[in-house]
Amino acid sequence: MTAHGELPAWARWAADSERPAWTIGLEEEVMLLDPDDWMLAHRIDDLLPKLSPGLAAHVAAETHACTLELFTGVHRTVAGACAELLGLRRELAEQLAPLGLRVAVAGTHPLAASEDTRVSGGARYQVLESGLRDLARREPTFALHVHVGVPLPELAIAAFDRIRAHLPVFLALSGNSPFWRGRDSGMASFRTPLFQAFPRAGIPRRFGTYAAYVESIDVLLRAGALPDPTFVWRDVRLQPRLGTLEVRITDAQTTVAEVAALAALIQALVRLEATEPLAGNELLDAPEVLEENRFLASRDGMAARLIDPGAETRVPVERCLEELLARARPHARDLECVTELDAVGEVARRPGAERQRAIASEHGLPAIGAELSSLFLAAPAAEPRRPAPLGLG
């Protein structure tokens, strides 16, 4: 904070009276593939200048040279954001094909090895490599980041503090990285412990006020430990310059339909927790329980049993999800994302990790890259049937 207690420039909350609240924006990390062997292609630096200006405005390099970030604009509805995302995926696939590249999305590449990893050439990533040393050269991971627009920082920190309780459920639902270095890790999301090697990662603490949140980051900036606030990589963070709460815990999703389901759940629950709090203090004030639930979700996915500290027992994650869906539904109606929220049950019954394991069992690990790439342009059904209750047992 400044000497006079004013917010530093980076922390001034972006407010746009012309923009409705609770908007949605999506960022997904995409893997570049060589179609000859479906291994990672480390070519981000030479392909970026070859993209059309329209597409280039929605593409950015990431830490690793086999990764790019694809991001939408700001949308009022999940349907609008996902329609743009599918269009961007189509443009990307079309423009990379003549370069001998294919693209796919999952939490990890099943055969990637750290000795093959290359760091992107951009200045940001050279700074990152200098600071993180060999951590920057670990196997690449791929995440989905969901931004929800919040009109005031006071509402944003309220939602931030309380959405922490639901992060393990989002992770369990999104698990899409079962393989590591050519073998089954036994986990639904091996991306989670891999990325945890980075500093300033994981579930953040409860802050209570926006000023306390700002100070926790600004002290690192004032000391010169970080070049800017985006070097904080926690599972959820606030983005003051955008006026958004950003949920970052989820594995990247192979199809746009899966992105839409997760985005609808997150958007509705951010609005809920900002305006009519749901999560109980027994969980919010138990960081050890949140961390353990995070691990259980990354290990077991939708088979996880999460800790309920109030009842001092563990409950099936599908029960937690069913309760969240019921509470989120009125908000989803207001946000016009009921159709996408109804698709959450389908994702829960057949998460990405299970799909990858089925492919590997039938066709072998090398077939996963080809299958993931074939699903990159899969379009969501126009009118999906409303699913029955989860009933996962």
How many Å apart are CA 180 and CA 111, to the nearest integer? 6
How many Å apart are CA 320 and CA 45, to the nearest integer? 43
Percent of the chain with pLDDT over 90: 80
pLDDT at 179: 96
The candidate with the shortest Cα–Cα distance to 136, out of 210, 63, 224, 30, is 63
- Residues ≥6 apart with Cβ < 8 Å to 384: 257, 339, 342, 343, 346
Quickly state the pLDDT bin for 392 (edges 50, 70, 90): very low
How many Å apart are CA 288 and CA 290, to the nearest integer? 5
| Tens digit of each residue's pLDDT (9 = 90 or more) over 145-167 | 999 999 999 999 999 999 999 99
Residue 48 pLDDT more than 90?
Answer: yes
> Rg of the chain over CA atoms, in angstroms?
20
Phi, psi for 99 (deg, rounded to 5): -90, 5
| Tens digit of each residue's pLDDT (9 = 90 or more) over 228-258 | 998 999 999 999 999 999 999 999 999 999 9
**Under CATH, which number does the domain 9-374 receive?**
3.30.590.20
Residue 388 pLDDT more than 90?
Answer: no
Residue 136 pLDDT more than 80?
Answer: no
Q: For 44-53, which contacts have Cβ atoms below 8 Å and span 24 or more sequence positions?
A: 44/68, 44/120, 45/120, 45/121, 45/122, 47/96, 47/99, 47/101, 50/95, 50/99, 51/95, 52/91, 52/95
DSSP β-bridge partners for residue 316: 305
For the residues 313-326, what does the mean pLDDT come to?
A: 97
79, two tokens: 């349907």
The candidate with the shortest Cα–Cα distance to 88, out of 61, 66, 69, is 69
Residue listed under structure tokens 């760091």: 119
- In the DSSP assignment, the letter for residue 305 is E
Angle in degrees, CA 158, 160, 331, rounded to 5:
75
**Range scoring the smallest mean pLDDT among 120-124, 138-142, 220-224, 296-300:** 120-124
Quickly state the pLDDT bin for 176 (edges 50, 70, 90): very high
Residue 4 pLDDT more than 80?
Answer: no
Quickly state the pLDDT bin for 200 (edges 50, 70, 90): confident
pLDDT at 130: 57
SS (HEC) of 129-147 = HHHHHHHHHCCCCCEEEEE
**Range scoring the smallest mean pLDDT among 117-121, 182-186, 200-204:** 117-121
355, two tokens: 């799909």
Q: How many C-beta atoms lie closer than 10 Å to residue 192's C-beta?
A: 27
pLDDT at 244: 97
pLDDT at 113: 67
Q: What stretches of the chain show up as alpha helix (H) in DSSP?
A: 44-47, 53-56, 78-96, 123-132, 153-163, 167-174, 191-195, 210-222, 256-275, 281-284, 287-300, 317-335, 338-342, 344-349, 352-363, 367-374
Residue 383 pLDDT more than 50?
Answer: no
For the chain, report the end-to-end CA distance as a whole number of angstroms: 50
- In the DSSP assignment, the letter for residue 303 is G
Residue 3 pLDDT more than 70?
Answer: no
pLDDT at 115: 57
Residue 58 pLDDT more than 70?
Answer: yes
pLDDT at 385: 41
H helix or E strand, kind and range, residue 31: strand 24-34
For the residues 40-50, what does the mean pLDDT come to?
A: 93
How far from the centroid of its chain's Cα atoms is residue 65's Cα?
Answer: 19
pLDDT at 123: 54
For the residues 287-292, what does the mean pLDDT come to?
A: 97
DSSP β-bridge partners for residue 277: none
| Tens digit of each residue's pLDDT (9 = 90 or more) over 269-288 | 999 999 999 999 999 999 99
| Tens digit of each residue's pLDDT (9 = 90 or more) over 84-122 | 999 999 999 999 999 999 999 999 999 986 556 666 556
How many Å apart are CA 156 and CA 154, to the nearest integer? 5
